[in-house]
Structure 1
């Protein structure tokens, strides 16, 4: 399979650089920027040249961080998922691998689901013991969405061991508009993958869940749960709109990503 994006990060001389850098339309990337404070961390922004995912698209990407690398990979501001009546499903598949000496923070841009759009994303993650990965999965419902033009949204996140054994599976699906009055329209999960973070995340849970806001039109619900087989943790968020969600994601990722990896 030819991937639209195929990146490998590694530490070279105390800085994280790209040792493999391949991409094709519709994805674009620029240079690796060193973190101004943590010089060993390298950041890259993935851009979608079209600014949208259209019916029938199949976009695949592969990201690996090895040999002591520490990478932050972010998407552009947001990507719309376009739809037409009777249109095919747009699909995005990602493979993520982090070895025992490395770290990755992967913040895909929120997908904005528009009328008639059908979207499915699948992310397969392998974090070797000693490694750490923070992964964001987010979707926002467009204001023009109603019951009669709602398509579908499906997200599948799999965590596997180095030998390929499935350790955790997290599946989410929206097939209709939320029917609860003033229901949230923006949803995200921040996954923390890697062994040995149970004590830390248990201690952080009250702080993270205290981000919930239920005043007026500003509504944010936050819940923290562990993943099976010691795989890691998931922070789930539901918000009244995309702006509140993005702020919450930034806060949670900054807290979670700062946690040290156990020796």
Structure 2
């Protein structure tokens, strides 16, 4: 039987600290308290936990995350989440709506989804960041070591970025319907989206450093940077040999983004 889970959070700056002004969730999603970063008191961090530890066929996990009134929020997953499947099973869907106003910032890093045999998974994200705001969003998937071409289900990811008036600025879509066939092909993939206006000069200058992570990590990982249409932001693409290497690369990318200095500095990787 399908289980529908929901998460609805709104962060705001109150008394110099980012707090939850709206907090709704239901099983299997759980959240704890907002933790304050001693080095950055305005930054509030929350960990979202999946009590089941997995997404099953037919699941629809609907989430809404908003950051307003000067909030500076980091929302992270508790670890990689398995996406399970059965032969002929339904698609599991995670649908996330992100809103960041002109005074606020957000880091959304839900941790990779691990695709197991016969799993069909679809991730959809709608993002609206008002001019002056900033969001860093991570979309990551890992292919389970036991996956074979005969057992592979499907993976789809769609990230839509819109203006405040609803105008579509960018649509980034990725589809994987078979195992990579190239010898020693990457098995873990991520895109780190940097969404917000006025980042072109800083991101252009930072791109060589980000792409050099392919060499600096000393392991099998590839990093490429591209801008999104209509000034919506930038996408940092990562392909890695496995999930551990992928997580290290994502952390390195987030750390590199920290050196950006705009009106709203980028968010750093977890400490």
Q: What is the TM-score of this pair, normalised by structure 1?
A: 0.96
Quick check: 1:174 aligned with 2:182? no
C-alpha distance in 2, partners of 1:136/1:262? Answer: 22
Superposition deviation, residue 215 in structure 1: 9.4
Which of structure 1's runs of 4+ aligned residues deviate more than 2 A?
213-216, 257-263
Within-5 A mapping of 1:35-114: 35-114=37-116
What residue ranges of structure 2 are gaps of 5+ in the alignment? Answer: 265-271
Superposition deviation, residue 261 in structure 1: 3.1
C-alpha distance in 2, partners of 1:77/1:67? Answer: 29
Superposition deviation, residue 257 in structure 1: 4.4
| Equivalent residues of 2:104, 2:133 under 8 A apart | yes
Quick check: 1:139 aligned with 2:144? no
| Equivalent residues of 1:87, 1:116 under 8 A apart | yes
| Equivalent residues of 1:196, 1:262 under 8 A apart | no
| Equivalent residues of 1:136, 1:188 under 8 A apart | yes
User: SS state of the match for residue 252, structure 1?
Assistant: helix
C-alpha distance in 2, partners of 1:214/1:65? Answer: 34
C-alpha distance in 2, partners of 1:224/1:50? Answer: 35
| Equivalent residues of 2:5, 2:27 under 8 A apart | no
Q: What is the TM-score of this pair, normalised by structure 2?
A: 0.94
| Equivalent residues of 1:153, 1:173 under 8 A apart | yes
| Equivalent residues of 1:73, 1:105 under 8 A apart | yes
Superposition deviation, residue 26 in structure 1: 1.1
RMSD: 1.5
Aligned to 1:225: 226
Aligned in 2, Cα 1:258/1:73: closer, same or farther, shift over 3 Å? farther
- Tell me the matched-pair count: 261
Aligned to 2:198: 196
